[in-house]
């Protein structure tokens, strides 16, 4: 396979020239003109790097707001904006696409998918795709199950693409019917194709596909949840497709254009927390996989979590960079995890740069559920966060917090990121939202990788779907536990900080019809549950509204999962702060030439704690960094609605400014008429009840 890739490159003159350029100057990010940010995360390699240097460590303190654009939408605004030749393209919180003058923020045109399809749920969207040839330029966007292609000059649908300008991505998925999939992360463009993963329900097998850019016709498919007889199917039990799905790529893709290799990172298999009917390693769930970008054929893979029972998706895209390893220049791919671990591989061969050890983990405490006996751990770099909650981690921000965290630790215990399946409450740390998250990692030409980290404790607990005497729960309550409790909790109290609303007083906010429609279409972080039968949906709604249902479950009760996850629960103290000794969020520079941590600093601040004399704690953070040739790292992400600049060499804070809302997005940088700007999307809905949807651009004063 590797030889064939190289031969193909040599036979194709244009690709060979591109390879020479890539090998010599890839890290300088000479992708088109220096002034553009024309790819999601800045470059096909997902390196979040710009060679612009007008803003640098000497003058960044002079940055000021250049313009603000208020979208009029109000929700999570996670878009990493594209800028091409003076035009900024953004997907707003409600997935409208707007084109703005990048120097002033003045609107040029807009496109609203709701004008094409009614009733599409608003979901997190993190970016767009931009493509052009000698005669045209196109923007590709997504909402619900559809991907749309629009003319970059006027925002009109390109009707020759798909079915009049759009394509339903539940089609051509090699599954029965048409599942209600959705997309929140853009794909990569290679030659005349776009390559993209898909968010799927837990009962839909995941896949990565390539489509023709002009027509929308599928060119290839890689079944990330293999079908019977395919490589990897032997890591599943018999009849596995009856009970599982997922293993898709939702976090993003990296591309080595010169070699024609695409790198994907996958989620867990479904159901996320109940694996009794899928015991095995479960390839290609929780894996980094290198594919031939022309054919989708697997070249190599590494699974970073075996038989995941803890929702430990690979939630951050791979990052490509070049390092000096043992005196030799080497092109590598780095993959981060929710556990704050970095795995580093040779891009072509897949060989780890440093050994990976299989270490034993705690066995299950529930009969019928098995834990894979070992999990992989890299020997270098060291973990970027604590790997277990110990007595040294008991909160020290107040005497009361110290007492309560000590008591809970004594009762619950901690087993790291792999707690044993149990009916008792256990601390899970590292937790479900990272470690690293979807904002991605930045990398510079010197082989240094920059990434932000969360260090919050959570709780883990399974609950039965039957009564204590072994008889089935009422169908509405049982179906709620199976389908809804992981996000909204057994007690229906939700997890507002995680974007999962409280359902205990649902009747005061929504009608029965509205709830029924929401279950069907999904919305926000909630997927569509259109695979459920109408009677089962009716039973769930009856349960939520406190109505006893007479509906008899036609599905055999013993075919349902025996246990379900209690729900996502951050562990906070009585004041609402993470119940662990700070730092709660950090920014890290990792030298991947040597596999060592270069520096680590807290990221984010609770000013009220600083005023109490507590050193800066850092905060929970979502959205990633970018780095520049000016030696400056830019990042929002934090829960204090600040946008910050750091010295890439030392981690020193150089500048900060207020945003109207939390900047839970990865910023972009670009230049117009010789002037460099930095722009970030600010929505703030991840952590706070008050949110909006604004773009804020900064520049040096004239």
Q: Could you tell me if 554 and 452 lie in one domain?
A: no
Predicted local confidence at residue 553, as pLDDT: 57
364 plus 488 within the same structural domain? no
Q: How many helices (H) and strands (E) does the chain have?
A: 8, 41
Same domain, 445 and 474: no
Count CB atoms within 10 A of the CB of residue 70: 12
Asked if residue 629 and residue 483 are part of one domain, the reply reads: no
Alpha helix stretches (DSSP H) within 273-398: none
CATH of the domain at 510: 1.10.760.10
Q: Which of 640, 672, 669, 670 is nearest to 656 (CA)?
A: 640
Residues 444 and 479 in one domain: no
| In-domain check, residue 398 | no
Asked if 642 contacts 650 with a C-beta cutoff of 8 angstroms, the reply is: no
Identify whether residues 528 and 665 lie together within a single domain.
no
Residues 447, 591 contacting (CB under 8 angstroms): yes
Residue 542, SS3 per DSSP? helix
Give yes or no: residues 377 and 472 share one domain: no
Distance between first and last Cα of the chain: 54
**Paired strand residues for 442:** 450
Residue 214, both tokens:
């002009």
Residues of the chain predicted below pLDDT 50:
2-33
Residues 356 and 233 in one domain: yes
Tell me, what's the pLDDT at 429?
97
Q: Is residue 353 part of a domain?
A: yes
pLDDT score, position 359 = 98
Tokens 């409790």 -> residue: 485
- CA dist 558 and 560 (Å) reads 5
Distance CA(254)–CA(6), nearest Å, equals 19
* 504 belongs to a structural domain: yes
Token reading at 64: 């000021």
In three state form, how does the secondary structure of 42-64 look? HCCCCCCEECCCCCCCCCHHHCE
Which of 439, 567, 546 lies closest to 496 in space, CA to CA?
Answer: 567
Beta bridge partners of 210: 195, 220
Residues 205 and 236 occupy one common structural domain: yes
Asked if 254 contacts 333 with a C-beta cutoff of 8 angstroms, the reply is: yes
Identify the domain containing residue 543 by its residue range. 466-560
Determine the Cα–Cα distance for residues 268 and 315; give it in Å rounded to an integer: 10
* 500 neighbors 488 (Cβ within 8 angstroms): yes
**Beta partners for residue 212, in sequence order:** 193
Residue 627 token pair:
């780095």
> Which of 185, 485, 171 shows the shortest CA–CA distance to 318?
185
Q: Are residues 489 and 597 in the same domain?
A: no
Residue 414 lies in a domain: no
Structural domain contains residue 647 = yes
- The phi and psi torsions of 582 (rounded to 5 degrees) equal -60, 160
Q: Which two tokens stand for residue 280?
A: 């095995």
Whether residue 422 is contained in a domain is answered as no
Does some domain include residue 396? no
Total domain count for the chain? 2
In CATH, what number is assigned to the domain containing residue 168?
Answer: 2.140.10.10
In a domain, 411, yes or no: no
Token pair belonging to 191: 């030659």
Among 530, 560, 590, give the residue marking a domain's end.
560
Crossing angle of helices 2-11/13-25, nearest 10°?
Answer: 110
Let me know whether 239 and 269 are in one domain. Answer: yes
Helix (H, G, I), strand (E, B) or coil at 381: coil
Residues 535 and 612 in one domain: no
Report which DSSP code applies to 200.
-
What are the two backbone dihedrals, phi and then psi, of residue 9, each rounded to the nearest 5 degrees? -65, -40
- CB-neighbour burial class of residue 666 (10 A; exposed 0-12, middle 13-18, buried 19+): buried
């Amino acid at each position: 396979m590797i030889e064939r890739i190289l031969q193909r490159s040599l036979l194709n003159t244009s690709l060979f020239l591109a390879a020479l350029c890539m090998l010599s100057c890839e890290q300088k990010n000479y992708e088109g003109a220096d002034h553009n940010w024309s790819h999601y995360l800045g470059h096909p390699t997902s390196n979040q790097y710009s060679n612009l240097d007008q803003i640098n460590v000497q003058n960044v303190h002079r940055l000021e707001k250049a313009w603000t654009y208020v979208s009029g939408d109000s929700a999570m605004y996670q878009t990493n904006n594209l800028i091409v030749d003076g035009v900024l393209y953004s997907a707003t919180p409600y997935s409208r696409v707007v084109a703005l003058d990048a120097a002033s923020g003045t609107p040029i045109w807009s496109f609203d998918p709701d004008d094409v399809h009614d009733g599409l749920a608003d979901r997190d969207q993190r970016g767009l795709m931009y493509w052009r040839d000698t005669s045209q330029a196109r923007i590709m966007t997504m909402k619900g199950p559809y991907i749309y292609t629009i003319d970059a000059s006027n925002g009109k649908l390109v009707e020759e693409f798909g079915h009049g300008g759009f394509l339903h991505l539940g089609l051509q998925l090699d599954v029965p019917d048409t599942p209600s999939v959705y997309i929140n992360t853009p794909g990569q463009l290679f030659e005349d194709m776009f390559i993209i993963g898909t968010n799927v329900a837990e009962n839909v097998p995941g896949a990565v596909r390539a489509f023709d850019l002009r027509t929308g016709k599928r060119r290839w498919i890689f079944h990330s949840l293999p079908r019977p007889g395919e490589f990897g199917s032997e890591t599943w039990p018999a009849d596995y497709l009856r009970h599982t799905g997922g293993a898709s790529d939702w976090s993003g893709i990296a591309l080595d254009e010169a070699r024609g290799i695409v790198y994907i990172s996958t989620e867990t298999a479904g159901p996320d927390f109940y694996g009794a009917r899928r015991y095995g390693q479960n390839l290609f769930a929780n894996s980094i996989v290198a594919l031939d970008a022309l054919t989708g054929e697997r070249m190599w893979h590494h699974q970073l979590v075996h038989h995941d029972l803890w929702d430990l998706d690979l939630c951050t895209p791979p990052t490509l960079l070049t390092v000096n390893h043992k005196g030799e220049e080497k092109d590598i791919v780095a993959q981060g995890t929710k556990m704050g671990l970095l795995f580093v591989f040779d891009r072509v061969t897949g060989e780890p740069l440093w050994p990976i050890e299989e270490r034993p983990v705690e066995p299950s405490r529930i009969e019928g559920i098995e834990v894979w006996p070992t999990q992989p751990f890299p020997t270098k770099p060291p973990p970027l966060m604590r790997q277990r909650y110990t007595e040294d981690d008991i909160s020290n921000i107040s005497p009361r917090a110290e007492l309560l965290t000590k008591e809970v630790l004594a009762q619950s215990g901690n087993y790291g990121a792999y707690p044993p399946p149990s009916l008792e409450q256990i601390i899970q740390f590292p937790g479900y939202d990272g470690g690293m998250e979807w904002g991605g990692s930045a990398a510079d030409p010197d082989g240094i990788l920059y990434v932000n980290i969360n260090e919050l404790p959570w709780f883990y607990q399974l609950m039965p779907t039957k009564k204590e005497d072994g008889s089935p729960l009422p169908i509405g309550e049982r179906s709620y536990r199976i389908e809804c409790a992981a996000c909204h909790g057994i007690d229906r109290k939700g997890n507002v900080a995680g974007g999962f609303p409280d359902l205990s007083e649902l009747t005061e906010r929504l009608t029965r019809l509205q709830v029924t429609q929401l279950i069907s279409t999904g919305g926000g972080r909630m997927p569509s549950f259109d695979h459920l039968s109408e009677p089962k949906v009716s039973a769930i709604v009856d349960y939520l509204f406190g109505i006893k249902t007479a509906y008899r479950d036609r599905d055999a009760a013993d075919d349902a999962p025996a246990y379900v996850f209690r729900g996502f629960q951050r562990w906070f103290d009585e004041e609402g702060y993470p119940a662990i000794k700070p730092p709660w969020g950090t920014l890290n520079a990792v030298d991947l030439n040597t596999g060592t941590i270069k520096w680590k600093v807290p990221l984010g601040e609770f000013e009220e704690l600083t005023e109490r004399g507590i050193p800066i704690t850092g905060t929970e953070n979502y959205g990633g960094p970018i780095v520049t040739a000016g030696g400056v790292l830019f990042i929002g992400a934090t829960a204090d609605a600040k946008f910050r600049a750091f010295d890439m060499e030392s981690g020193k804070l150089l500048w900060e400014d207020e945003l109207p809302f939390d900047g839970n997005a990865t910023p972009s940088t670009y230049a117009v008429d010789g002037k460099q700007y930095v722009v970030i999307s600010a929505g703030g809905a991840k952590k706070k009840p008050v949110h909006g949807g604004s773009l804020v651009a900064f520049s040096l004063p004239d």
